[in-house]
Amino acid sequence: MPHFAPITRDGLVELITDHIRELDGRALIAIDGADAAEPVAIADHISTALRDTGRAAEVVSLHDYIRPASLRMEFGRTDEMSYRTAWFDYAALDREVIRALRDDARWLCALWDEDRDRSARSPIRTAVPGTVLLVAGPMLLGRGLDFDLTVHLDMSEPALHRRTPPDDRWTIPALLHHDRDNPSAPTFFIRWDHPDRPALRIDDTARR
């Protein structure tokens, strides 16, 4: 039976960093979590730790692969199913980041500017040998994306309500439904209700 062991935030970053360093060649890492979990912040800490060891590392935020407002809000700004299926462009993420890195040693750091609602016009970047790309954002797991290592920052419904701004709480049912409909066994499953006191799930069945 799985159990949870307390771990510090710094200890978690060190643990994940050490596992990533064991991966040969270019690597793709998912930091999966609701916006309330601040997955980009964790990805930034890990990328900094990797660069401190001499490994090239960059972060891709899923919010830089958001769809245009006209598409994601076609059925209203607070439509739950749209948030799950039309809000973020997972297919473009797969094409421009994941498969591009694997096949051509290149990647596009941003596709769409969410604030300005227009193309990000980011240049295509070339990945040096050993580059690690950390993709961070909500609902990444359960979509068949080819990651080498996955991290899930798990938050309960009460925690999501505590940490999600009122205007964004309409997304909570979608996040919970996605997790229920797409059970996964990430490499690291982290209980994240209290980010200052995370807990790591310990079991023998975790897989990427």
Residue 207 has pLDDT above 70, yes or no: no
CB 190 within 8 A of CB 154: yes
Residue type, 32: D
CA distances from 55 to 8, 20, 44 (A): 23, 10, 14
Q: How many CA atoms lie within 13 A of 191 on its CB side?
A: 12
Residue 2 burial (CB count, 10 A): 11
pLDDT band for position 182 (cuts 50, 70, 90)? confident
Q: Please give the share of the chain, as a percent, with pLDDT higher than 90.
A: 91
> What pLDDT, on the 0 to 100 scale, is given for residue 2?
81
Residue 28: which H helix or E strand, with range?
A: strand 27-32
Residue 77's contacts (CB-CB under 8 Å, 6 or more residues apart) are none
User: How confident is the model over 37-63, as pLDDT tens digits?
Assistant: 999 999 999 999 999 999 999 999 999
Residue 208 confidence (pLDDT) above 70: no
- The residues near 7 (Cβ < 8 Å, ≥ 6 apart) are 15, 198, 199, 200
Q: Given a cut of 90, is residue 26 above it in pLDDT?
A: yes
Q: Model confidence over 108-159: pLDDT tens digits?
A: 999 999 999 999 999 999 999 999 999 999 999 999 999 999 999 999 999 9
Report all structural domains of the chain as residue ranges with CATH numbers, in order of start.
Answer: 3-202 (3.40.50.300)
